[in-house]
């Protein structure tokens, strides 16, 4: 391999995306890995434990002329936006106790031992001398080369933004806009038909004569399925999809009672203990005030009544988790990767889809940890009976390999919960 054939240092390349005057070195370490590195961004020997430590976990004390790593002494996290990061470790010297920045920030700050002349690199590398930090700090953060953005940039994941307020977003109008899209979507939806609905039907176990409320019933697919199982069904929704359900009922005359009603205001229409069972299929994660909705469901549900709901999986589905492909146009699922973004961020997320079609559409969802749902159920005397995280069967893998293999057979996209109302506990 000639010198020009060597790969470029991963870290040099990332830093150069932010600092335009940054000198990029050829890699001499881990040359065949995903992150080839130059000598400057390799490992340094800790003078206390003797271990070779990644440069972002070891500091240099110019007073004692010693390296100290994070494993040998106490470190502090310092919040600071620099290069492609938003923090660095400050590590106390094992000799004098003075805190010094880890070498990644030291390089940015101009205090790296190679920059100040305390040490000379054993290999030929160009050492950056920062001269325009003000220009760097003025750039937008997070940078495309930072943290998870660095990984996600390899593919093309769904784009979204978190909302601190819903001032500019009306959930009802968003769903009304989406109604036309959902109504013209393909009738056979893989996830609903093969993974969600079979489990919802199983857990709800609708019997002849059961009075069932379908909360956020949409276009009425589940409601019609329950009636055909002998149940007496009422469906409520606030979006224009309800118009389709009502229109279909007029044609089929199954006896379903549809009402335009907010899921957060069930007691405006129904008395206490009005229903044997309540179901909310793929909607609770899209309801802003889910606590009030659960409280109202408990109120209108009979003692020993069943409440079943399905949601996108709080840990493995968007927006807590996203997926992308490397390369992005690959159709093979071994090239599909998942990355957990932020499981605990409960701010609403608005995302855009259908960008490649004639018009892009926006959707709104509310990310919540599993514990938020379960704790609210307990507060309202809805006791957990079963949880289901549908996994693609071997039969489903064979029938729909592009949907299921190395994807739905490894990760659950949905969570389905069955509870029973028990007031005297």
Q: Angle, to 10 degrees, between the axis of helix 241-252 and the axis of helix 171-184?
A: 50
The beta-carbon contacts of 395-401 under 8 Å, at least 24 apart in sequence, are: 396/194, 396/195, 400/190, 400/194
Structure tokens that stand for 48 in this block: 């206390």
Cα(37)–Cα(8) distance, integer angstroms: 7
Task: Give pTM, 2 decimals.
Answer: 0.85
Cα(365)–Cα(178) distance, integer angstroms: 13
Using alpha carbons only, how large is the chain's radius of gyration in Å?
28
Burial label, 398 (beta-carbon count in 10 A; 0-12, 13-18, 19+): exposed
Determine the distance from the C-alpha atom of residue 308 to the mean position of all C-alpha atoms in its chain, rounded to a whole number: 24
Topology classification of domain 161-421: Rossmann fold (3.40.50)
The answer to whether 206 and 231 are in contact (CB under 8 A) is yes
Structure tokens that stand for 114 in this block: 């190679």
- List per-residue pLDDT tens for the chain, 425 residues long: 455 678 999 999 999 988 888 999 999 999 999 899 999 999 999 999 999 999 999 999 999 999 999 999 989 999 998 998 989 999 999 999 999 999 999 999 999 999 999 999 999 999 999 877 676 777 777 787 787 877 888 787 777 888 888 888 877 777 777 777 666 655 458 999 999 999 999 999 999 999 999 999 999 999 999 999 999 999 999 999 999 999 999 999 999 999 999 999 999 999 999 999 999 999 999 999 999 999 999 999 999 999 999 999 999 998 999 988 888 888 889 999 999 999 999 999 988 776 444 467 788 889 999 999 999 999 999 999 999 999 999 999 999 998 999 999 999 999 999 999 998 76
Structure tokens that stand for 300 in this block: 């209108």
Domain with CATH 3.40.50.150 in the chain: 161-421
3-state secondary structure the chain: CCHHHCCECHHHHHHHCCCCCCCCCECCECCCCCCCECCCCCEEECCCCCCEEEHHHEEEECCCCEEEECCCCCEEEEEEEECCEEEEEEEECCCCCCEEEEHHHHHHHCCCHHHHCCCCCCCCCCCCCCCCHHHHHCCCCCCCCCHHHHHHCCCCCCCEEECCCCCCCCHHHHHHHHHHHHHHCCCCCHHHHHHHHHHHHHHHCCCCCCEEEEECCCCCHHHHHHHCCCCEEEEEECCCHHHHHHHHHHHHCCCCEEEECCHHHHHHCCCCCCEEEEEEECCHHHCCCHHHHHHHHHHHEEEEEEEEEEEECCCCCCCCEEEEECCCCCCCHHHEEEEECCCCCCCEEEEEECCCCCCCEEEEEECCCHHHHHHHHHHCCEEEEEEECCCCCHHHHHHCHHHHHHHHCCCCCEEEEEEEECCCC
The answer to whether 68 and 61 are in contact (CB under 8 A) is yes
Residue 394 has φ and ψ, to the nearest 5°, of -60, -35
């Amino acid at each position: 391999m000639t010198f020009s054939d060597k790969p470029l240092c991963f870290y040099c390349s990332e830093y150069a995306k932010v600092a335009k005057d940054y000198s990029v070195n050829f890699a001499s370490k881990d040359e065949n890995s995903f992150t080839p590195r130059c000598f400057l961004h390799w490992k340094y020997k800790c003078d206390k434990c003797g271990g070779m430590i990644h440069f972002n976990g070891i500091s240099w004390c110019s007073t004692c002329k010693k390296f100290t790593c994070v494993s040998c002494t106490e470190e502090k996290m310092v919040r600071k936006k620099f290069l492609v990061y938003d923090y660095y470790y400050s590590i106390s010297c094992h000799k004098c106790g003075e805190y010094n920045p880890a070498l990644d920030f030291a390089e940015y700050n101009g205090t790296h031992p190679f920059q100040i002349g305390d040490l000379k690199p054993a290999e030929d590398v160009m050492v950056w001398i920062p001269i325009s930090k003000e220009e760097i700090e003025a750039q937008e953060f997070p940078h495309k080369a930072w943290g998870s953005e660095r990984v996600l940039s390899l593919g093309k994941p769904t784009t979204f933004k978190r909302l601190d307020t819903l001032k500019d977003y009306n959930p009802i109008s968003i769903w009304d806009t989406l109604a036309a899209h959902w109504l013209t979507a393909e009738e056979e939806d893989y996830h609903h038909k093969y993974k969600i609905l079979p489990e919802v039907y199983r857990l709800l176990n609708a019997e002849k004569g059961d009075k069932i409320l379908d909360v956020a019933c949409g276009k009425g697919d589940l409601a019609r399925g329950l009636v055909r199982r002998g149940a007496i069904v009422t469906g409520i929704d606030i979006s224009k999809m309800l118009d389709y359900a009502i229109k279909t009922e007029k044609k089929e005359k199954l006896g379903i009672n549809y009402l335009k009603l907010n899921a957060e205001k069930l007691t405006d229409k129904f008395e206490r203990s009005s229903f044997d069972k309540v179901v909310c299929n793929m909607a609770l994660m899209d309801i802003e005030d889910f606590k009030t909705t659960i409280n109202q469901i408990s109120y209108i549900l009979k003692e020993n009544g069943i409440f079943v709901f399905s949601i996108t999986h709080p840990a493995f589905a968007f927006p807590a988790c996203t997926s992308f492909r490397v390369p992005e146009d690959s159709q093979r699922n071994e090239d599909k990767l998942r990355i957990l973004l932020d499981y605990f961020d409960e701010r609403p997320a608005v995302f855009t889809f259908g960008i490649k079609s004639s018009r892009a559409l926006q959707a709104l969802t509310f990310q919540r940890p599993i514990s938020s749902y379960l704790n609210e159920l307990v507060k309202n005397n809805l006791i957990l009976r079963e949880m289901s995280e549908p996994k693609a069967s071997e039969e489903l893998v064979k029938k729909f390999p592009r949907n299921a293999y190395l994807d739905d057979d490894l990760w659950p996209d949905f969570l389905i919960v069955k509870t029973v109302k028990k007031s005297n506990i």
